[in-house]
Amino acid sequence: MKALCFDHFGAPDVLQYRDLPDPVPGNHQALVQTAAIGLNFADIYRRKGNYHLRGKPPFIAGYEAAGTVLTAPPESGFVAGQRVGFADMPFANAERVAVDVDKLIALPDDIPFGTAAAVLLQGLTAQYLARDSHGVRRGESILVHAAAGGVGLLLTQLCRALGARVIGMTSSTAKAQQVLDAGADAALLYDEDWVAAARAFGGAGVDAVYDSVGATLTQSLEATRIGGHVVFYGMAGGDPAPVDPRLLMDTSKTLTGGDLWNVLTGAEERRRRAAELFGWVRDGLLKVHIDSRFPLAEGALAHARIESRASSGKVLLIP
């Protein structure tokens, strides 16, 4: 099979498109022929060597894809030819992936491969952020960082659907318009005094902030009201500064960490959440924005696009 891989860490040019042996499925695994692969910022971290990475050189990054079952255990409930997706199985940047049966999600007929690969990991993330990390309530004011990104656009739509007022942070006026088109009430740029603007938006500060940038964590806490809530779930802009717990005590604010893998606790929970997600897409509650599709062979260009911050929405790799 062909795979996008690397044998040392570095810039996008370390990526190689090469032949590797087909994976051999284990006893409780299916072999999936990928049709669309979701690229995520975590894959940039992996390529650079500063995020967990399975296997040994040549490394194959990626955790998310959609495609067709080639083989599956007889008792698995999956059959050859069935359309499936997955959001949390390593070695996805390849034409074929051995996937734990418990991590397979059957795709409804009206969910295309590209949509599934674009929405599963980031959509499930937006879902748990708005439901589990901070239960969004009608009338709340919410600030979403990186609101034009894959998670950000979905999270903005979901918070609005739950009745919140949303202010989205982004890096350019073009992206700001995309955030507004996704339903945000306002959009701010990082080069302006966004803390003051966010505090004004919420009255005396917003009720909650979703921070995936990391380096902005101190400012996110400043932007929240007394008793407000910050959810920290990413470090796309660098590591956050340490937080003095006395600040949280003095302002009655709450800081919560969030990670999808702590929420997807088993096959039934994974599939239940995915079914709800597909329902939102089907009903038009969530509109999935695909920024671009790159051939798997041109994966270095796809990595460079994400890393340049030029993309908005999801970047896909197509085998």
Do residues 171 and 225 both lie within one domain? yes
| pLDDT at residue 86, as a whole number | 97
| pLDDT at residue 45, as a whole number | 86
The residue that leads in pLDDT, 293 or 309, is 293
| pLDDT at residue 272, as a whole number | 96
| pLDDT at residue 95, as a whole number | 98
Axis-axis angle for helices 113-128, 267-282 (nearest 10): 110
Do residues 240 and 268 both lie within one domain? no
| pLDDT at residue 312, as a whole number | 80
Q: Which domain holds residue 176?
A: 138-257
Do residues 61 and 159 both lie within one domain? no
Q: Point out the domain boundary residue: 257, 286, 305.
A: 257
Q: How many CB atoms lie within 10 A of CB 307?
A: 16
Question: What would the pLDDT profile of 224-282 be if each residue is shown by its tens digit?
Answer: 999 999 999 988 888 899 999 999 999 999 999 988 889 999 999 999 999 999 999 99
Do residues 142 and 253 both lie within one domain? yes
CATH code of 61's domain = 3.90.180.10
| Tokens describing residue 174 | 């073009």
Question: What would the pLDDT profile of 169-226 be if each residue is shown by its tens digit?
Answer: 998 998 999 999 999 999 999 999 999 999 999 999 999 999 999 999 999 999 999 9
Do residues 283 and 190 both lie within one domain? no
Do residues 25 and 86 both lie within one domain? yes
| pLDDT at residue 33, as a whole number | 98
Q: Assess if residue 184 is contained within a domain.
A: yes
CATH code of 160's domain = 3.40.50.720
Do residues 97 and 203 both lie within one domain? no
Domain count, the chain: 2
| pLDDT at residue 261, as a whole number | 86
| pLDDT at residue 249, as a whole number | 96
| Spatial distance between the Cα atoms of 186 and 316, rounded to a whole number of angstroms | 28
**Closest-CA residue to 184 (of 208, 164, 202):** 164
Q: Is the pLDDT of residue 6 over 90?
A: yes
| pLDDT at residue 54, as a whole number | 86
Axis-axis angle for helices 41-48, 299-307 (nearest 10): 110
Do residues 227 and 291 both lie within one domain? no
Axis-axis angle for helices 150-161, 113-128 (nearest 10): 60
| pLDDT at residue 273, as a whole number | 96
Q: Is the pLDDT of residue 51 over 90?
A: no
| Spatial distance between the Cα atoms of 249 and 28, rounded to a whole number of angstroms | 48
| pLDDT at residue 235, as a whole number | 84
Do residues 253 and 268 both lie within one domain? no
